[in-house]
Copies of this chain bind each other. A is one copy, B any other.
Amino acid sequence: MKKIEIAFQGEKGAYSELAARRYFKSTRLQLIPQKTFADVFHAIAKRKVDCGIVPVENTLNGGIREVFNLLDEQSVFVTGEIKLRISHMLLGVRGAKISGIKRVYSHPQALLQCRKFIHRAKLSQAEYYDTAGAAKFVAELGDPSVAAIAGLSAAEDYGLRILKKHIESDGKNFTRFLVVTRESYVPGDADKTTVIFSVKSQPGALHKSLSVFAIRDIDLLSIDSIPNVGRPWEYKFFVDFRGGVFGEAQSKALEHLREICPHVKLIGSYKEGRTEY
């Protein structure tokens, strides 16, 4: 039986890889690391993989605009979602002790999320492009005074010891991931829809566009504005709303939105993701 091939951004052991394993709950998965988010979308478009998994939002840092833009520009469709509790750990090599750690490597966002711990422990910090990449680097370095901040699977993948668990300042740290495919497909149990649209440059235009949901009592789950590249101080909006796209109110709302907005793209309609710990 062929394995499902899934592209993700980052090194082996990244949170996206963990999200994919939790979403698909299958052992017949082949996770294929990509350097950038653009590479993930390229791998999907060029049929090098069956699908991809990408983070779109973190509860501490907000939406990931680079991913919003790729979802808008590329011929892809979102068919699923999963939310993952992000728990950072301090990882060191064999022989490392927490009291002996002087310097810590991680992704800038992870360093920011653990800043209270880093400050209390008086560690110097260095940025790395990726949490799992930092873990790999620390494993290769082999210096017991150097640690990485990364997730559990990075510890397993690079043979590092967990020196301390849950070192993030705010425990309510979740990331939302989307499953991205080539084919537009709406699952029968879809109860959430994502759309990107831009509005005319005139007073009240955003208010008008949100009316299409409000008059039908459709709950907006999130809204994010993204700059229109090449048109300074103009924006597009990335909106999640309650209900599948085949619901009567939802399909009417989309029709209405297309009537009043110069650009509307349906990103996907899917089952709202469960939260995994």
Contact = CB atoms under 8 A, between A and B. Distances in A.
A127 interface: yes
A227 interface: yes
Nearest to A237: B223
Contacts of A266: none
Interface in A221-243: 221-227, 229-233, 235, 242
- Of A204, A229, A235, the most chain B CB neighbours within 10 A belong to A204
Interface in A167-206: 170, 172, 174, 202-204, 206
* Range class of the A interface residue count: 35 or more
A224 B225 contact: yes
Nearest to A57: B227
B233 A220 contact: no
The 5 closest A-B pairs by CB, nearest first: A207-B214, A203-B219, A204-B214, A59-B232, A207-B210
Contacts of A62: 65, 225-227
A62 B236 CA distance: 11
